[in-house]
């Protein structure tokens, strides 16, 4: 199947995934300025107000309005490690909402595309064969956008139980990492600067990135071999 035909059949899904890349960056820029201007108000938040704030972020993360990294940094700055239970629950609910939305938008068109493309079917089936590992590796990566991964995994109709379990386990290391970053800065302006991080934070960031990249490349290497074998089989006289 040509890429143009694939895009046409899955236009809504592609547009949704593009939105998950653009919106978090633009909206978080606005909120960075807002938080800098109202820092003292956030310091005075009651537990009830923080509960409401995390409820709101559940929807903003699910709808790709705020990146999880941004939320973790802010949570670490204002609440420290006490924010972990709040974040885990917020991430979990946001994951399920984002997954369900993407599944509704893109799973049926993808099924049609698979019926017309044997190689695409091999890719999808290969991902499902290593489903738990793929979910974990994409979640542990500190650079892959949360909403984008929700969208891709929802469109691929990954198993929901594996999505929740592996996704939560994968999110924990990167979440705790950015909570520590937020906790260690001295003021809210420094929180949004791109200055040099502490060495242990930097090493942890690159370690998580390396694990995710190597793991994902290994899995897609296996899938590529299956595609090559399928092509060779079809051209053999």
- For residue 79, the model assigns a pLDDT of 94
Mean pLDDT of 30-41: 87
- Is a pLDDT exceeding 90 seen at residue 83? yes
Other beta carbons less than 10 A from residue 217's beta carbon? 12
Ranges of H-type helices in the chain:
3-9, 11-37, 39-43, 47-62, 68-79, 84-116, 118-129, 131-140, 146-155, 160-184, 188-191, 199-235
- Is a pLDDT exceeding 80 seen at residue 6? no
Cα separation, 128 vs 116, whole angstroms: 19
Q: Using an 8 Å Cβ cutoff, are 95 and 57 in contact?
A: no
- Is a pLDDT exceeding 70 seen at residue 237? no
> How high does pLDDT run on average in the chain?
81
- For residue 11, the model assigns a pLDDT of 62
Cα separation, 233 vs 229, whole angstroms: 6
- Is a pLDDT exceeding 90 seen at residue 101? no
Task: Tell which wins on pLDDT, 121 or 171.
Answer: 171
- Is a pLDDT exceeding 70 seen at residue 69? yes
Residue % of the chain over a pLDDT of 90: 29
- Is a pLDDT exceeding 60 seen at residue 133? yes
- For residue 86, the model assigns a pLDDT of 94
Residue 78's Cβ-side half-sphere holds a number of Cα atoms within 13 Å equal to: 24
Mean pLDDT of 187-213: 72
Cα separation, 184 vs 195, whole angstroms: 13
Query: What is the secondary structure of 164-190 as a DSSP string?
Result: HHHHHHHHHHHHHHHHHHHHH-SSHHH
- Is a pLDDT exceeding 90 seen at residue 78? yes
- pLDDT confidence band for 231 (50 / 70 / 90): low
- For residue 193, the model assigns a pLDDT of 65
The overall pTM is greater than 0.85: no
Mean pLDDT of 186-193: 70
- pLDDT confidence band for 140 (50 / 70 / 90): very high
Condensed to tens digits (0 to 9), the pLDDT of residues 24-34 reads 777 777 888 88
Residue % of the chain over a pLDDT of 70: 78
Six token digits for residue 1: 């199947």
Q: Using an 8 Å Cβ cutoff, are 179 and 75 in contact?
A: yes
Q: Using an 8 Å Cβ cutoff, are 101 and 155 in contact?
A: no
- For residue 2, the model assigns a pLDDT of 52
- Is a pLDDT exceeding 50 seen at residue 236? no
- For residue 147, the model assigns a pLDDT of 84
Closest CA to 192 of 32, 22, 28: 32
Residue 118's Cβ-side half-sphere holds a number of Cα atoms within 13 Å equal to: 9
């Amino acid at each position: 199947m040509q890429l143009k035909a694939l895009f046409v059949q899955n236009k809504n899904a592609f547009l949704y995934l593009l939105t998950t890349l653009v919106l978090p960056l633009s909206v978080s820029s606005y909120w960075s300025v807002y938080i800098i201007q109202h820092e003292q108000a956030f310091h005075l938040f009651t537990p009830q107000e923080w509960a409401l704030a995390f409820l709101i972020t559940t929807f903003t993360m699910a709808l790709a309005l705020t990146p999880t990294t941004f939320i973790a940094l802010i949570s670490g700055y204002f609440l420290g490690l006490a924010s972990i239970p709040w974040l885990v629950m917020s991430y979990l609910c946001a994951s399920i909402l984002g997954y369900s939305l993407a599944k509704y938008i893109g799973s049926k068109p993808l099924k049609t595309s698979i019926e017309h493309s044997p190689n695409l079917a091999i890719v999808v089936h290969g991902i499902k064969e290593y489903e738990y590992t793929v979910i974990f590796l994409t979640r542990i990566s500190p650079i892959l956008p949360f909403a984008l991964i929700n969208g891709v995994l929802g469109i691929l109709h990954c198993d929901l139980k594996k999505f929740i379990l592996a996704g939560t386990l994968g999110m924990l290391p990167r979440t705790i990492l950015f909570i520590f970053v937020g906790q260690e800065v001295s003021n809210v302006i420094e929180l949004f600067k791109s200055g040099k991080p502490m060495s242990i934070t930097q090493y942890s960031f690159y370690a998580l990135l390396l694990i995710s990249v190597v793991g994902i490349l290994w899995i897609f290497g296996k899938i590529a071999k299956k595609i090559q074998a399928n092509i060779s089989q079809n051209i053999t006289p």
